[in-house]
Structure 1
Amino acid sequence: MVYYQKMTPQGYQKIKDEITSLKKDRPRRIKILQEARSLGDLSENTEYTEAKRDLGHLQSRLRYLEKQLKYAEIIEKTADGKVDLGKTVTLKFADDPETETYQVVGRMEADIGAGKIAFDSPLGQAIMKKEVGETVKVVAPAGEYRVTIKAIK
């Protein structure tokens, strides 16, 4: 069974940009490896070992990102008034007088510090397909809590 990775168009573009950047950097890393190899005895050549490791990491990251794009399912925003991937939601947590605003994104794009929550996180799952005014219970590893959806953009 093929598992498709849901993501926003912005998340898809971010991965494409990283791939482009890594591909531009690859010739430089190959040159460093070649120069290190020319220094002599490979068994005691730390420059060669480090250059080989760095190039391997780059190649591995490229394969990983290309696989993410291959299995990406890009979700476009809809205007149905419900929380969904790509939309921005303002939430009121039951125990906090302030509101918090998050963009609902794919797993690969999630970054709570940047205000991006994954649609399949406990909070994301609880608010998906809900409307403004609804209060939902979030079941998280650290316990349960309630949030009310104040706005959806």
Structure 2
Amino acid sequence: MVYFQKMTPEGYKQIEDEIARLKKDRPRRIKILQEARSMGDLSENSEYTTAKMELGHLQSRLRYLDKQLRYAEIIKPDSTGKIDLGSSVQLQFEDDDEVQDYKIVGRMEADLAAGKISFDSPLGQALMKKQAGNVVEVEAPAGSYQVKIISVR
């Protein structure tokens, strides 16, 4: 069974950009490894060991990111006004007058500090397919709370 990773077009582009950056850096890392190898005895050559390890990490990251793209399912925002992957929302949490902006994204793109919440997080799950004006109950590990949806874009 193949599991497709849901993500926004922006998340897909971010992965493509990181792959391009890593591929651009690979020749430099290979050159460092070759230079370290030419220094002599490899068993006591810390430069060689470090360069080999760093190149291995880069190659591993490239394989991981490539797999993410291969199994990506790009979801575009719902145009019906209901919250879906890619939607930007303004929320007002209970007992708080402040309105906060969030974007609903795929699991790999989530970054709460940047205002990006995963569609499968407790808050994301509660918001999915709801509309502006709805009040939703969020069942989180720390307890339940209510959120009012101010707007959906």
TM norm structure 1: 0.98
Distance in 2 (alpha carbons) for counterparts of 1:28 and 1:122: 43
Q: Does 1:30 align with 2:30?
A: yes
Question: Which of structure 1's runs of 4+ aligned residues deviate more than 4 A?
Answer: none
Shift in Å at residue 141 of structure 1?
1.3
Q: What is the deviation of 1:80?
A: 0.3
- Taking the aligned partners of 1:83 and 1:13, their CA distance within structure 2 comes to 22
Q: Give me the whole-angstrom Cα distance separating, in 2, the residues matched to 1:68 and 1:139.
A: 29
Q: Point out where structure 1 has 5 or more consecutive residues left out of the alignment.
A: none
1:15 maps to: 15
1:23-102 to 2 correspondence within 5 Å? Answer: 23-102=23-102
Aligned-partner Cα distance in 2 for 1:48–1:95: 58
Cross-structure match for 1:110: 110
- Over the aligned positions, Cα root-mean-square deviation in angstroms equals 0.6
**In 2, Cα distance between equivalents of 1:139 and 1:95:** 17
Structure 1 counterpart of 2:60, one-letter code: S
Deviation at 1:78, TM superposition (A): 2.4
Aligned residues: 153
Percent identity between the two aligned chains? 69
Q: Secondary structure of 1:18's match?
A: helix
Which residue is 2:6 aligned to? 6
Alignment match, 1:121: 121
Which residue in 2 is equivalent to 1:138? 138
The residue matched to 2:85 in structure 1 has which SS? coil
